[in-house]
Amino acid sequence: MSQPDASAGPASTAADPEPTTDGTDGAAAEPLVVVDDLEKHYPVRSGVLRRRTGAVRAVDGVSFEIGRGEALGLIGESGSGKSTLAETLLHLTEPTGGTVRFDGAPVGDEAGGFDDLRRRTAMVFQDPASSLDPQLTVGESAAEPLRVRGVARRRRRERVATLFERVGLTAAHRDRYPHELSGGQKRRVGIARALALDPAFVVLDEPTAALDVSVQAELLDLLAELREAFDLSLLFVSHDVSVVRRACDRVAVMYAGELVETGATRSVLDDPAHPYTRALAAAVPTPDPRAERPRHSLSGAMPDPADPPDGCRFHTRCPEVIPPEDSGLTSAEYGAVIDLRVDLAGGEVDLDRLRARADGDDADSLGRALRAEYGLPGPDGDAGRALSAAVDDAVAGDDATAVGRIREAFGSPCVRENPERGEGDRDSACHLPTE
């Protein structure tokens, strides 16, 4: 089999694609990447026999598409599953479930398609230092994909020289080792290496992390130029909302292994439909000292992917969680109740510390200290009486009974059901009514 001409520019076809029945261009009608219900679960084992007792659901039923020449931004906090999704999509780690289609063909153990996927896709890894071999010059590292494909040494050097020039590096950089380059230069080497085989699709994992603002701007300008010149489809994996706003056509928001909102970048970030997206967008700092403080903010930590909460996975941190019907609670008050339930279930309510802060030694004093600690609502109404009984159980050290009381008395759609994303160009997985 003949090897691809790695020194050539962007790939071209011998003939134009045939038109489809709806009058559109065949290539344009089919997205380049189609991900359907993709999963990546890691087994949890325990005991002497290391039996499987659970699973870390790092990616849990994710679906999206990336068009030809399109840039999709994947945003979310650290630990949301973004990098795992990117690696699973490229089959750098094997999926647990779901399917990936690349350029119209399925990819997987039974479907095959790995060679085309490997040749026509690439990834720029998050840590440029660890992704470059310290014993090789950066020119040799950039040429490694070509060497694996059997491209002759002279052709490799010519291709790398061309790519280094395209990404803003000089010929002198090729003979340097990774420790001799700055962080921005190492990222440019990673981009050059990713382009070595003239891919159609490139994943960039936190491409601007730990770079100065000016260097970030230069790198994003470079990626925009390369995207146009090479007709690339890109997946930006980032926690930086401002980077995605500048570089991407569409955005997908990920939380605890699931996508919670997708749509056109400006539409999603300027008018978020999901409370988590609102919190991410509000967290972007503004240089204007007169600007109002954001109303939406996040508290608490990402849930354990080995034991995600029932219902909407964001409900344990959601500032807009829907209170139980007829409870008379506000979202903030209901959020305080959920905080207590989560901490009781995790054994994180420290009664000894509360005793030190209580105004007496009796159970009532400890109960008041617990209420103050969490900002719990008063004892009025059915909800208040149920909460008072749960507080009494917690003070007595019976966390399991307290959790059961709260679950029974304080149900809501957010706790009972995991909402599904809608369909179309703009969708959100949330129980809140849409306008």
Q: Which band of pLDDT confidence, cut at 50, 70 and 90, is reported for residue 286?
A: low
Q: Please give the share of the chain, as a percent, with pLDDT higher than 70.
A: 90
If one compares 17 and 59, the residue with the highest pLDDT of the two is 59
Domains of the chain: 6-276 (3.40.50.300), 331-411 (no CATH)
Give how far Cα 245 sits from Cα of 251, 268, 281, Å: 8, 10, 10
The vertex-103 CA angle with 39 and 145, nearest 5°, equals 85
pLDDT band at 287 (very low <50, low <70, confident <90, very high): low
- Specify whether the CB–CB gap between 71 and 37 falls below 8 A: no
Which run of H or E residues covers position 198?
Answer: none
- What's the half-sphere exposure (Cβ side, CA atoms, 13 Å) at 122? 21
Q: Token match 């019907």: residue?
A: 325
Are the C-beta atoms of residues 286 and 36 closer than 8 Å to each other? Answer: no
pLDDT by residue (tens digit) across 310-366? Answer: 999 999 999 999 999 888 899 999 999 999 999 999 999 999 999 998 988 899 999
Question: Could you tell me which of 122, 212, 228 has the C-alpha nearest to residue 166?
Answer: 228
Per-residue pLDDT reduced to its tens digit, 164-206: 999 999 999 999 999 999 999 999 999 999 999 999 999 999 9
Q: Tokens 């095959």 correspond to what residue?
A: 112
Please state the rounded mean pLDDT for residues 389-417. Answer: 95
Per residue in 376-410, is it b (16+ CB within 10 Å) or e — as a string?
bbeeeeebbebbbbbbbbbbeeebebbbebbeebb
C-alpha to C-alpha distance for 316 and 302, rounded to whole angstroms: 9
All residues at 6 or more sequence positions from 352 whose CB lies less than 8 Å from its CB, including other chains: none
Nearby residues of 252 by Cβ (< 8 Å), 6 or more positions away = 64, 72, 73, 74, 75, 259, 261, 262
The 10 Å Cβ neighbour count of residue 37 is 12
- Cα–Cα distance, 432 to 274 (Å, whole number): 8
Give phi and psi for 290, each to the nearest 5.
-90, -10
